[in-house]
């Protein structure tokens, strides 16, 4: 840049100087020529004034110092010449241009070659009366005189030109340095800024406007440097966090290219960091994942699903980053969770099975003992064993049902009449209903499609709770309502109700509001959990409204 600028400015200045030099030479030459012409005219005129018939020609022609003087007769013969020439030998001058011009009374200077001297001269002649006749008085200056003046002037001009060129050269170099200094200073500052090494230094270049710019650049640089440091720190922190979270994470831009990827994701997909800016297809060929990312990239639609990659199960979350067109994908390895859950379920099921057999035997032996024992004291213990073993059996039965529900994925639906199922459950609960003198009414009916055993479990658990957590002379009402595309079952009681804090937790396994009360009531803490699993299995909606001391309403919406 510096060299180019220097070259072009020097070129322009040199061309300017050469032009100026050429013009000067041209003007000076023609000035000198004009001066020479004026001199010959003036000399000829002065001599013409002094000339008389009696003039001594040999001394007359010597009057012009540097000028050649020639006196020519009217017939063209040369009478006298200031140059040491033999006039008798000289040619007739009558046809010389200057003589002809004088003859026409229109004298004018002429530049032409002297035949006798063989060099260019400026000639001027005047016709002067001489007694009865006339003569021509001619003045001439050799052009070489003009050229001699010129070469003198030229030398001065060349020296002048050289001096000017040198001054210009130094001036241009200083000027370019001066102009480029702030630019290279700003360039240096920008480099420092980009490399995080910016430090403000009050540099001035002696030009107010540029000094102001440098000062403002310094202020701006400090702010930018601070912001860049903050951003760099944030980025480092973010990179550190991203690389140290166990979940795989990558971000795709609007054209489906990978914009960001963390170490865990590189490991999951077995790729290297140069996957950045490459299309998603280079990362993975799992159709479900590619489809979900494309849906999110084009339509902003999020997704949550599981995929298996290299034998591991991943829970995949696909989301549009708020306020951007970027799609974020998080892959959480849930293989261990799933295996643990499976192990827990297996243990749950096995333990329940193992407990059920000896328990059934204990119940059988206890019944035998009851038959053979009439002693009131021993019967008290036998009744107590009966109560506890039955409770234990219902707990194990519930555990087995729950375990079966969590492992079941396929169902064999059949038409089930809801009101009939509710009445069957009511029959089973009749002792408790009568003991508490509870009013129980069923309204409406509908047929739904499900396994009858599942519907019975669902209805029985809801109705059992409505009776169990009710007061003496309370009321239970079961409503079956048909809606547009669904059937709704409502189990309403005016019992003890559930506080808002407990309402979210009562669907958890073994969760009981008052732990001491349920066993007494025959509860296991698994009833609502079974209901929830049945609803999840069929995709039905389960909801609960309750108020302490007022009652509870549980609804199930069976959607087809």
Binding region for ligand ADP (CB under 6 A): 461, 465-466, 469, 493, 495-498, 506, 511-513, 518, 523-529, 552
Give the burial class of 285: count Cβ atoms within 10 A of its Cβ; 0-12 exposed, 13-18 middle, 19 or more buried.
Answer: exposed
Helix (H, G, I), strand (E, B) or coil at 322: coil
Measured CA to CA, the distance from residue 30 to residue 160 in angstroms comes to 20
In the complex, the smallest distance separating the C-beta of residue 530 from ligand ADP, rounded to whole angstroms, is 8
In the complex, the smallest distance separating the C-beta of residue 443 from ligand ADP, rounded to whole angstroms, is 18
DSSP 442: E
In the complex, the smallest distance separating the C-beta of residue 554 from ligand ADP, rounded to whole angstroms, is 7
Beta carbon nearer to ligand ADP, 83 or 507:
507
DSSP 484: S
Q: In what order do the strands lie in the sheet with 486-493?
A: 439-443, 475-482, 486-493, 551-559, 541-547
In the complex, the smallest distance separating the C-beta of residue 432 from ligand ADP, rounded to whole angstroms, is 12
Query: Do residues 554 and 547 make contact, with C-beta atoms less than 8 angstroms apart?
Result: no
Beta carbon nearer to ligand ADP, 248 or 497:
497
Beta carbon nearer to ligand ADP, 352 or 529:
529
Beta carbon nearer to ligand ADP, 69 or 459:
459
In the complex, the smallest distance separating the C-beta of residue 259 from ligand ADP, rounded to whole angstroms, is 48
Measured CA to CA, the distance from residue 426 to residue 440 in angstroms comes to 8
| 121, β-bridge pairs | 112, 142
Beta carbon nearer to ligand ADP, 417 or 521:
521
Tracing tokens 């390895």 back to the chain, one arrives at: 333
Beta carbon nearer to ligand ADP, 139 or 422:
422
In the complex, the smallest distance separating the C-beta of residue 323 from ligand ADP, rounded to whole angstroms, is 43
In the complex, the smallest distance separating the C-beta of residue 418 from ligand ADP, rounded to whole angstroms, is 19
Q: How many CB atoms lie within 10 A of CB 155?
A: 10
Helix, strand, coil % (nearest 5) of the chain?
A: 55, 20, 25
Alpha helix stretches (DSSP H) within 2-61: 2-50, 57-60
Tracing tokens 């865990």 back to the chain, one arrives at: 264
| 312, β-bridge pairs | 309
Beta carbon nearer to ligand ADP, 146 or 513:
513
In the complex, the smallest distance separating the C-beta of residue 528 from ligand ADP, rounded to whole angstroms, is 3
Directed axis angle between helix 2-50 and helix 143-194, to 10°? 160
Beta carbon nearer to ligand ADP, 330 or 528:
528
| 441, β-bridge pairs | 477
R_g (Cα) of the chain, nearest Å: 62
In the complex, the smallest distance separating the C-beta of residue 537 from ligand ADP, rounded to whole angstroms, is 17
Beta carbon nearer to ligand ADP, 69 or 466:
466
Query: Do residues 352 and 403 make contact, with C-beta atoms less than 8 angstroms apart?
Result: yes
């Amino acid at each position: 840049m510096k060299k180019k600028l220097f070259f072009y400015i020097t070129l322009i200045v040199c061309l300017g100087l050469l032009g100026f030099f050429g013009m000067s030479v041209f003007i000076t030459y023609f000035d000198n020529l004009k001066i020479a012409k004026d001199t010959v005219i003036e000399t000829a005129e002065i001599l013409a004034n002094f000339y008389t018939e009696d003039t001594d020609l040999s001394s007359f022609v010597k009057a012009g110092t540097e000028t050649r003087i020639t006196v020519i007769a009217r017939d063209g013969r040369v009478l006298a010449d200031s140059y040491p020439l033999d006039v008798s030998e000289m040619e007739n001058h009558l046809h010389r241009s200057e003589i002809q011009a004088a003859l026409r009374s229109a004298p004018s200077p002429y530049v032409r070659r002297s035949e006798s001297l063989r060099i260019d001269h400026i000639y001027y002649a005047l016709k002067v009366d001489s007694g009865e006749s006339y003569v021509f008085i001619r003045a001439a200056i050799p052009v070489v005189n003009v050229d001699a003046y010129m070469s003198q002037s030229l030398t001065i001009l060349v020296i002048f030109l050289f001096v000017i060129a040198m001054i210009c050269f130094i001036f241009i170099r200083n000027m370019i340095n001066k102009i480029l200094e702030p630019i290279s200073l700003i360039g240096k500052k920008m480099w420092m800024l980009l490399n995080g090494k910016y430090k403000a230094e009050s540099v001035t270049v002696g030009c107010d406007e540029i000094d102001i710019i440098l000062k403002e650049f310094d202020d701006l640089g400090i702010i930018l440097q601070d912001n860049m440091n903050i951003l760099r720190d944030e980025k480092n922190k973010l990179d550190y966090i991203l690389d140290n979270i166990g979940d795989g994470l990558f971000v795709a831009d609007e054209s489906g290219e990978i914009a960001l990827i963390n170490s865990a994701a590189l490991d999951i997909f077995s790729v290297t960091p140069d996957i950045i800016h490459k299309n998603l297809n280079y990362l993975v060929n799992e159709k479900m994942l590619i489809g979900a990312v494309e849906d999110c990239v084009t339509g902003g639609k999020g997704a949550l699903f599981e995929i298996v990659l290299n034998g591991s199960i991943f829970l995949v979350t696909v989301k549009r980053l708020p306020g951007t067109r970027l799609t974020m994908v998080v892959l959480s390895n849930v293989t261990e969770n799933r295996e643990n859950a499976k192990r827990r379920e297996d243990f749950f099921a096995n333990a329940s099975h193992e407990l059920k057999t000896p328990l059934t035997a204990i119940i059988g032996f206890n019944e035998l003992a009851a038959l053979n024992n009439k002693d009131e004291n021993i019967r008290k213990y036998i009744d107590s064993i009966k109560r506890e073993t039955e409770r234990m059996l219902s707990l194990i039965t519930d555990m087995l049902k729950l375990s079966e529900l969590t492992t079941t994925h396929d169902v064999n639906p059949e038409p089930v009449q809801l009101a009939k199922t509710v009445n069957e459950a009511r029959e089973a609960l009749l002792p408790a209903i009568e003991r508490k003198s509870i009013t129980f009414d069923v309204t409406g009916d509908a047929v739904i499609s499900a396994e009858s055993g599942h519907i019975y479990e669902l209805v029985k658990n809801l109705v059992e709770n409505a009776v169990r957590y009710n007061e003496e002379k309370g009321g239970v009402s079961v409503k079956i309502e048909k809606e547009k595309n669904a059937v709704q079952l409502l189990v309403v009681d005016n019992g003890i109700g559930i506080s808002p804090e407990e309402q979210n937790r009562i669907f958890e396994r073994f969760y009981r509001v008052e732990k001491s009360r349920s066993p007494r009531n025959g509860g296991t803490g698994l009833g609502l959990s079974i209901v929830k699993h049945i609803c999840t299995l069929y995709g039905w909606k389960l909801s609960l409204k309750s108020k302490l001391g007022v009652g509870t309403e549980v609804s199930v919406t069976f959607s087809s």
